Every structure is written in C-alpha cells, then in structure tokens.
Amino acid sequence: MDVLLQAALEARGHAHAPFSHFLVGAAIEAADGRIYGGCNVENSSYGLTMCAERTAIFRAVAEGAKRFTRIAVVADTPQLTPPCGACRQVLWDLCGDLEVVLFNLAGASETFRLSDLLPRAFDATYLD
C-alpha cells in the first residue's frame, strides 16, 4: 500500500469522534517527501471540531513544511468522502492545486486535483 494512504489509515485510528462516530484520517505529503498525518477531533460544540485534513496541513506547517504535492483522505463510507468546503479553502490557500486521493476501508479510491473539487477558488489574487 502507498505510504501516504497507510499514514492516513493510521491517523484515522487516532480520531476522536465520540458524538458522530465518523472517523476520518488524512495524510499530506510535503514536496520533500515528508508525510504528516491528521485525524478529526470533535468537540461537543460542533463548530469547534477540527477536520482531519486541516489537522494534517496545520501539523505540517507547524513542523516547517511549506510546499505540498498530495493529500489522502480515508473514511469508512461506501461513497468516498471528499474534504469539506472549509478544508478545501485552507488546502487551496496553503497548497494550491494539489492532488487529492480519496479512499475507503473497502479499498475504493479516486484521485482528483483540488481545482476539480474547488472550481474558481478564492485566494489572495483577489485581494490585490
């Protein structure tokens, strides 16, 4: 199995989802090959919950990574689970048009470009 997918699966095992029981793992690959995992962490006030994708990217940035090539997201759902809108926006701002690999525990997978999941993305170019 691809090391990125394995890291996402491992991260999923650390998810804290006592309310939804929806466990998600993500792993992001930096341009230098380092991989950073993240899981969703729920809070009883759902608005304070952090998604796996943002946990992974924030961890990578906190550890010094600046450029990224791809992210993998895994959940135990028959239909592959893409990043939510907030995660798509954060990924766009910090990673640009990276590759997004979705997969589930049954072994199904699909790969997208972030621009396919977030067409006409808002970014800093609109602020000039």
Phi, psi of 10 (to 5 degrees): -60, -45
pLDDT range class, residue 123, cuts 50, 70, 90? confident
Does the structure show a pLDDT above 70 at 126? yes
- pLDDT tens digits, residue range 14-51? 999 999 999 999 999 999 999 999 999 999 998 999 99
Catalytic-role residue among 10, 53, 99, 110: 53
Domain over 3-127 is classified CATH 3.40.30.10: no
Backbone angles phi, psi at 51, to 5 degrees: -75, 160
Q: Which of these, 96, 101, 128, 102, lies nearest to 115 by C-alpha position?
A: 96
Reply yes or no on whether 53 is catalytic: yes
Mean pLDDT for 87-100 is 97
What's residue 124's pLDDT?
86
* Position 128 pLDDT exceeds 80: no
106 CB neighbour count, 10 Å cutoff:
9
